[in-house]
Amino acid sequence: MSVQKSSTMLRKITESRLFFPFVALAFILLFDLIIVPGFFRIYTREGNLYGNLIDILRNGSTVSLLAIGMTLVIATRGVDLSVGAVMAIAASVAAILMNPYVLARELPPHIVKFMTDPNFTYQPLWVVILAALAVSAICGAWNGLLVAYGKIQPMIATLILMIAGRGIAQLITNGVRIQIFYEPYAFIGQGWIILPFSLYLVAIVFAAAWLLTRRTSIGMFIESVGINSRSSFFSGIDEKKIKLLAYTFCGLCAGIAGLVESANIKTSDAFNMGQTKELDAILAVVIGGTLMSGGRFSLFASVVGAWVIQAITTSMYAIGVPAFALQAVKGVVVIFVVLLYSEQVRNLVQKLTARKEARL
Amino acid sequence: MSDEYIIEMREIDKAFPGVQALSKVDFFLRRGEIHALVGENGAGKSTLIKILTGVEKPDAGKITLDGEEVKVRSPLHAQELGISTVYQEVNLCPNLTVAENILIGREPKKWGRINWGAMNARAREILQRLDIDVDVTKPLGLYPVAIQQMAAVARALEIASARVLILDEPTSSLDAHETAQLFKVMRRLKSEGVAIIFITHFIDQVYQISDRITVLRNGRLVGTFETASIPRLELIAKMLGRSLTELDEMSQIKLETRKHIKGEALLRARGLGFAGGIEPFDLELHAGEVLGLAGLLGSGRTEVAQLLFGVEKPDSGFLEMDGQEVRDFSPLASISRGVALCPEDRKEAGIVDELTVRENIILALQASRGWFKYLNKQQQYEIAERYIQLLNIATPSADQPVKNLSGGNQQKVILARWLATNPRVLILDEPTRGIDVGAKAEIQRLVLSLAEEGKACLFISSELEEVLRTSHRIAVLRDRKKVTEFSGEVDEQRIMQAIAGGEA
């Protein structure tokens, strides 16, 4: 009886959406365990935790945030290429609100002195954050309008903002890279409360997304629209509103990611911020097992996917692979993922567990 | 024998998961004849053609071409054998020129480059054979659908120097004049010795052009007839299937349930219609009543259903429910009014295949409740389990993805989805298509018992027998028009007469 139970459990685990992302993560960590001595060491400093594993979680938080929003969009059979650009927009909005003086050509000396003061901000922090997030949500809604109401292909529709977004971000800051000195803002990206502060943000956004999709009917409607939009329409589901919501939420997540990133590097760099991050986010979702053709999704699996990507990066740095070679390694990982997720491998795994069951 | 026939298909069997598409079907094609292949949806026409053109492999049976047995390996192979097909949808490229469309893939070449002069000349020559005179260097999209259809025919002829030409519903998007033009071409080809298989659901056209008719129904051969020797009415009877059998239990129930019909109309359409779909019609539906909708495929049955459910918006007339004029035409609005539609196309518009049985069942109910009035898991399971029992849905559990179920059970899941919304008007568009006989009877019984509960049902089916058995009243559609309505016990003959139209 108990043997039988454990074997159906085994099957449940292998059929779970989380199985493959975790297997991938385990592979990478196993590699680290063998190759990199002391990779798993975690130490405390002033009561806060540090170490490679913490680094993976912390540096992966931007992509985690993006992946959460991206998951909903991809589940509706869409994609959002503009998230990197929206990050830049959010960062620019935040930076300019904290320090609009950088735009002035000449400033009286007493203001110049203020500008590098770690306690100085022009607008209070909550205004800065709310404004940045509001702008990102509007960006997301713009994408949603184009896709749902304009009936433009998602890739093309979001390409518009992907290209224009960085221009908009630079317009906001008048083309200036703004350094951020305000410490409370920097805390968003660099702060620690035992664990890195950005991890708490990921947890909050994840919880919010989960509640929004799984404790309402929205999650099921997103999946239904992604799988068969005509059946969904016949069943009375408003596909347009669902898509608008998904893209808006994705924009919001990108905004939060933009805040974290700019706070971490203490700069709003409209040109480089979030470059190619949209592709990492898509990769994370794919590793998480959500199909590009839409339908069933798992938010947690996408977050694990983001960790997988970051674990690769951190591991490669740990063994001394130079930054420029990293992209090539990521490419290899994509091949690996494609293989791992192929019908053949899935069938193989299912056959293996099934045989084990039969033997029992 | 084999001299007479160019193609002989014997005892062809073909099964798809959950349905026997063809069983022991014989089909013989004479040289230089126009042979109509008729039958309602799911009769097996397209499967038979797919087997002949190598798209599908038969499970059993033999095909001989010119007296020699052949195995058609692929559509390309079929073309090499001289069998060419023009499919229902014009699958050409409107942005390429007429000549390119006709000769694509086989362009005349010179020094490795396309010889445009020769290509255009060749295209012109082929079209002339069809008596068509157009500028072959213009994009195909500039020409009307009829010309595009001719280009497809030209292409089919060019590919194979075809001896057998299959036309799969070529006239469905043509008007009368264009159809006449196509028929002229068909006659010309026939005189050149090409054998033509003509698939259509327009009975008039069958009588206009064909020499012989093969009728399929439910994957079986009903028979092959000389067109001149089979009256129109008899043909319809053979297509729709009728058995002059017992007044079974169903009719008993039907008689009993008639008492429950309320006098006041629940749903009333006046002059309702939309251009290109269905001409304005009047229709009343009463609580406790099953109204049957009879007519051939393409007669406008589905369009009536979609109008009443708000999938399509009318451009004339009005619709009343409970005496109130309906202004908001959308599925969501219809659901909240208490109208439900089991759509004709189960795969495209019915099931959401990756979702579980439970999710599929609660989908419409949840949609009508909105995003935030969420049915929790326990409520979902309760509803799902109730309908799984009530409708006798065969599934290992409510958490099974619905794609793993058989066609009949999928259909029941869709029914459950709509019953869960507790509708007062239930529109069933071909609810028994492609499902086995047992499930069919179950669904018919269910429809009657729903009527007994006071629901108004609109029952649409290709099978006349089924419509007769379940309906208290029958409306007949023909050529996108409502032609008549019968109340009470009506004679099958009269309905078929109405469906067939014309002189019969």
Of B382, B406, B422, the one marking the end of a domain is: B422
Residues B76-81, mean pLDDT to the nearest whole number: 84
**Residue B195 sits in the same domain as residue B55:** yes
Q: What is the ipTM of this complex?
A: 0.86
Whether the CB of B111 is below 8 Å from some CB of chain A: the reply is: no
Q: Does B427 touch chain A (CB under 8 A)?
A: no
Domain of residue B160, CATH code: 3.40.50.300
* Domain boundaries, position B401: 346-422
**Residue B321 and residue B462 in one domain:** yes
- Band of the pLDDT at B226, cuts 50, 70, 90? very high
Residue A55 sits at the chain B interface (C-beta within 8 Å): no
Say if residue B297's pLDDT is above 90.
Answer: no
What would the pLDDT profile of A77-104 be if each residue is shown by its tens digit? Answer: 999 999 999 999 999 999 999 988 888 7
Residue B243 has a pLDDT of 46
Other CB atoms within a 10 A radius of the CB of residue B28 amount to 18
Domain-embedded: residue B413: yes
Among the candidates B422, B440, B466, a domain finishes at: B422
Nearest to B20 by CA among B66, B62, B59, B63: B59
Exposure string of B186-220, with b = 16+ CB inside 10 Å and e = fewer, is beebbeeebbbbbbbbbbebbbebbbbbbbbbbbb
The reply to whether residue B372 touches residue A216, judged by beta carbons under 8 angstroms, is: yes
pTM summary value: 0.76
Total number of domains constituting chain B: 3
The alpha-carbon radius of gyration of chain B (Å, integer) is 25
Chosen for mutation from B352, B356, B374, B418 (greatest number of chain A CBs closer than 10 Å) is B352
pLDDT value at A137 more than 50 = yes
User: Å from B15 to nearest chain A CA?
Assistant: 25
Q: Are residues B393 and B442 in the same domain?
A: no
Choose between A183 and B232: higher pLDDT.
A183
Does residue A5 register a pLDDT over 70?
A: no
| Residue B135: inside a domain | yes
**Chain B interface, mutation test: which of A234, A238, A298, most B Cβ atoms within 10 Å?**
A234
User: CB A220 to CB B355 under 8 A?
Assistant: yes
Share of chain B above pLDDT 90, in %: 25
| DSSP 8-state secondary structure symbol assigned to residue B11 | E
| CA angle at B382 for the pair B377 and B385, rounded to the nearest 5° | 115
Phi, psi of B209 (to 5 degrees): -120, -30
Examine residue B236 and state whether it is found in any structural domain, yes or no: no
pLDDT (average), residues B69-79:
86
Quote the pLDDT of residue B309. Answer: 93
Domain membership of residue B239 (yes or no) is: no
**pLDDT at position B346 over 90:** no
SS3 state at B356: strand
* Judgement on whether residues B224 and B270 belong to the same structural domain of the protein: no
State the burial class of residue A109 (Cβ atoms within 10 Å of its Cβ: 0-12, 13-18, 19+).
Answer: exposed
Q: How far apart are CA B404 and CA A344, in angstroms?
A: 19
Q: Does residue B368 sit at the A interface (CB-CB below 8 Å)? A: yes
What span, in angstroms and rounded, lies between the C-alpha atoms of A47 and B253? 79
CB contact under 8 A, B374 and A216: yes
Inter-chain residue contact A217 with B352, CB threshold 8 Å: no
Give yes or no: residues B180 and B276 share one domain. Answer: no
Q: What is the pLDDT of residue A106?
A: 78
Nearest to B349 among A216, A218, A230 (CB): A230
Query: Which residues of chain A have a CB within 8 Å of the CB of B370?
Result: 217
Which residue in the set B330, B334, B374 is minimally distant from A217, CB to CB? B374
The C-alpha torsion from A269 through A275 and A278 to A281, rounded to 10°, is -90
Query: In the structure encoding, which two tokens stand for residue A91, read together?
Result: 């960062």
What's residue A352's pLDDT? 78
Q: Is the predicted pLDDT of residue B126 greater than 60, yes or no?
A: yes
H helix runs in chain A, sequence order: 2-15, 19-35, 52-59, 61-75, 83-98, 109-115, 125-144, 154-172, 183-190, 197-214, 218-227, 229-234, 239-265, 277-287, 299-318, 326-340, 343-359
- B223 with B311, same domain: the answer is no
Contacts of residue B227, Cβ cutoff 8 Å, sequence gap at least 6: B36, B206, B207, B210, B211, B212, B213
Q: What secondary structure does DSSP assign to B428-446, as a single string?
A: EESTTTT--HHHHHHHHHH
Instruction: Please report, for residues A25, A26, A37, A281, B398, the alpha-carbon distance to residue A29 in angstroms, rounded to integers and kept in the order given.
Output: 6, 5, 12, 21, 38
Q: Which carries the bigger pLDDT value, residue A257 or residue A321?
A: A257
Query: DSSP for B117-149?
Result: HHHHHHHHHHHHHTT----TTSBGGGS-HHHHH
Q: Which domains does chain A have, with CATH numbers?
A: 2-359 (1.10.3470)
Name, of A66-75, A260-269, B440-449, the range with top average pLDDT: A66-75
Position B503 scores a pLDDT of: 47
Least confident of A152-161, A213-222, B313-322: B313-322
On chain B, the residues whose CB falls within 8 A of the CB of A227 are 352-355
Q: Do B331 and B383 fall into the same domain?
A: no
With CA atoms as reference, the chain B residue closest to A295 would be B354
- With contact defined as beta carbons under 8 Å apart, do B182 and B172 qualify? no
Looking at the complex, report in whole angstroms how far the Cα of residue B383 sits from the nearest Cα belonging to chain A. 16
User: pLDDT tens across A101-125, in order?
Assistant: 888 777 777 777 777 788 888 889 9
Given a contact cutoff of 8 angstroms between Cβ atoms, the answer to whether B486 and B495 are in contact is yes
Q: Is B401 on the interface with A (CB under 8 A)?
A: no
| Residue B399 contacts A, CB cutoff 8 Å | no
Are B76 and B125 members of one domain? yes
Option in B330, B331, B359 nearest A220 (CB): B359
Instruction: Give the separation between CA B134 and CA B451, rounded to whole angstroms.
Output: 58
Do B170 and B287 fall within a single domain? no
Domain boundary at B367, B400, B422, which? Answer: B422
